[in-house]
Amino acid sequence: MYDVVVIGGGAAGLAAIHSAYDPTLKLLLIEREKTLGGILKQCIHNGFGLHHYKEELTGPEYAERGILSVKDLSFETMLDTTVADVEKKSDIFHITIMNTELGEAVIQAKTVILSTGCYERTRGAIQLPGTRPKGIMPAGSAQRYLNIDGYLVGKKVFILGSGDIGLIMARRMRLEGAEVLGVAEIMPYSNGLTRNIVQCLHDFDIPLYLSHTITDIKGIETLEAITISEVDTHFQPIAGTEKTFEVDTLLLSVGLIPDIKMFDSLKFDVSSLTNGAIVDQRYQTSIPGLFACGNALHVHDLVDFVTEESEKAGRFAKDYVLKTKAEKRQLITIDPGDKVRYVLPQYLDITQNFDETVLSLRATESALRGTFNIHQGETLIHSKKARFVAPAEMERLVLKRSDLVSEAPLKVSFEVGT
Amino acid sequence: MKKEMICIVCPVGCHLEIDENLKVQNNKCKRGEVYAKKEILNPTRMLTSTVRINSKHQARVSVKTTDAIPKQSMFKIMEMLDDVALEVPVNLGDVVIKNVLDTGIDIVVTMSLKA
């Protein structure tokens, strides 16, 4: 019986097991791939670590820092191991795993931390019209083929979606000799960092078509051409604005979703806003002893905050397993209010001792200046001014225990302006 | 002739204009002027890429320039990297190309791979 099992050995899992470590506990880290580090290994560009390590690192370098940080801790690691199912029976988690050494096996744990990352939305998720030839794939898949496996997936490329992965791959494929004909974004603004617009698109004269989407795909066996059209304010294509590009590859950078399907048997509460687990300030899900962190909980834009969040989840999991008596939870909700898409955690467990907790949230609109407000019932209990707010960038508020005035639900809202 | 560019020094993202006499307009602060002039006179970029390796786990290993290199030399360096083939083990920071194109900047490995 393990005290803590961490599922997923990327940035989140490494930080979680690091802080869950205790010499008296039996810990296990399970990783699907043959090496630790997760998605960072294929993110070879730099820009990681400015918050956490106060220096600019590439993805693989950030991963290696995480791996080094746990090198001297004694815990078990299972690599090349897939988790097929997790169930909870009479307070114990039963984890069905598969690998070449054990075949199928069931291991038991007192607590489990889900740090399984996220997956990319595919063309099915956005209902692209046209034929279904090969040559259409998520940008992150193409990134793996190129940066790890050494295959350039195409020579004439178009990219749908202006998220950072799409922009990074536009530059990357151009540098490796592919022609990148353009990037289309359905929104009137880019979802990527300005730095990436400049250094990935402008540097290579790659056009960005804002308020455009794909309206046709041609090719039977392989992709031959795509057509884009401008969209109106209701995102409907405008007739007569079609532009056709002959391409062999279409990369999709159209969103990420927490990868928690393999935990369906547990039936924990999932948020329709984040597509991840609903948690309290200890990152504990609706199932006692089950914790979640990183992109498996909600999709982050900076790995630094994945590390920070996962360190906390690991610490709370350790506290949970070390505590002697059963606990009761008393939860008050933290809801998104006006102009806020989601807030995490969704619950505050007021039986817990805490001085302060960090709320992660996203606004629904961009603003040069604005104010985030936390209300408890009708009372304004916390306000924070913010600059350069954008839906693509996660905001963070520090809520203090002493801010609370009652046991009423909390609501976080955003006010545009000074 | 005027050249337009977006300043990336801070999140404001001023849309700068710079003319042939290096006169910068539309910048909200001094840093924008410095950025625009550097982008005209000596634009530099960090370059990250991969090179071949004989690891049993992966066909490529990631590399980077130790500092920003002149922007116009990016494709030349990409070509030079085509000729590099490493053998495991490699360690983070191992030099792949020393003093690339006489810039004083090295290309180094950004991940460790065991034999």
Chain A contact probe: residue of B111, B112, B114 with most A CBs at under 10 A? B111
Q: Which pLDDT belongs to residue A139?
A: 97
**What confidence tens digit (pLDDT) does each residue in A393-411 have?**
899 999 999 999 999 999 9
**What confidence tens digit (pLDDT) does each residue in A160-218 have?**
999 899 999 999 999 999 999 999 999 998 888 888 999 999 999 999 999 999 999 99
Domains of chain A: 1-121+255-327 (3.50.50.60), 122-254 (3.50.50.60), 328-418 (2.60.40)
Q: In this model, does residue A418 exceed pLDDT 70?
A: no
Q: In this model, does residue A325 exceed pLDDT 80?
A: no
Rounded Cα distance, B112 and B108, in Å: 11
Element (H, E) at A77: strand A76-78
Domains of chain B: 3-41 (no CATH), 45-109 (3.10.530.10)
At what angle are helices A303-322 and A11-20 packed, to 10 degrees? Answer: 30
| Nearest residue of chain B to residue A172 (CA atoms) | B49
- End-to-end Cα separation, chain A, in angstroms: 55
Distance from CA of B41 to the nearest CA of A (A): 15
**What confidence tens digit (pLDDT) does each residue in A230-244 have?**
999 999 999 999 999
3-state secondary structure of A223: coil
| Nearest residue of chain B to residue A198 (CA atoms) | B6
Q: Which pLDDT belongs to residue B113?
A: 96
Least-confidence region, from A89-98, A323-332, A396-405, B18-27: A323-332
Kindly state the tokens that stand for A304.
């630094």
Distance from CA of B59 to the nearest CA of A (A): 5
Q: Determine whether the interchain pair A63/B46 forms a contact, defined as Cβ–Cβ distance below 8 Å.
A: no
Q: Which of B67, B97, B95 is nearest to B79 (CA)?
A: B97
Q: Which pLDDT belongs to residue B12?
A: 80
Q: Which pLDDT belongs to residue A85?
A: 96
**What confidence tens digit (pLDDT) does each residue in A351-391 have?**
988 899 999 999 998 898 999 999 999 999 999 999 889 88
Rounded Cα distance, A351 and A363, in Å: 29
Task: Give the type of residue at A394.
Answer: M
Cβ-contact A198, A205 below 8 angstroms:
no
Kindly state the tokens that stand for B105.
């900047």
Q: Which pLDDT belongs to residue A193?
A: 85
Distance from CA of A137 to the nearest CA of B (A): 21
Q: Determine whether the interchain pair A198/B110 forms a contact, defined as Cβ–Cβ distance below 8 Å.
A: no
Q: In this model, does residue A34 exceed pLDDT 70?
A: yes
Q: Which pLDDT belongs to residue A43?
A: 98
**What confidence tens digit (pLDDT) does each residue in A54-73 have?**
999 999 999 999 999 999 99
Cβ-contact A113, A314 below 8 angstroms:
yes
Rounded Cα distance, A29 and A174, in Å: 38
Q: In this model, does residue A417 exceed pLDDT 90?
A: no
Chain A contact for B29 (CB, 8 A cutoff): no
Q: What is the DSSP letter of B60?
A: E
3-state secondary structure of A26: coil
**Strand pairing report for A103-114 and A2-7:** parallel
Q: Which pLDDT belongs to residue A142?
A: 98
ipTM > 0.90 for the complex: yes
Cβ-contact A310, A293 below 8 angstroms:
yes
Rounded Cα distance, A245 and A306, in Å: 38
β-strand partners of A384: A372
Q: In this model, does residue A327 exceed pLDDT 80?
A: no
> E strands along A219-366, which residues?
225-230, 243-246, 249-252, 256-258, 290-292, 331-336, 340-344, 347-349, 356-363
Q: Which pLDDT belongs to residue A390?
A: 87
Average pLDDT over residues A227-231: 98
Q: Which of A342, A332, A325 is nearest to A410 (CA)?
A: A332
Q: Determine whether the interchain pair A203/B111 forms a contact, defined as Cβ–Cβ distance below 8 Å.
A: no
Q: Which of A259, A122, A247 is nearest to A179 (CA)?
A: A247
Q: Which of A338, A335, A321 is nearest to A414 (CA)?
A: A338
Phi/psi for A411 (5° steps) reads -140, 135
**What confidence tens digit (pLDDT) does each residue in A130-148 have?**
999 999 999 999 999 999 9
**What confidence tens digit (pLDDT) does each residue in B74-107 have?**
999 999 999 999 999 999 999 999 999 999 999 9
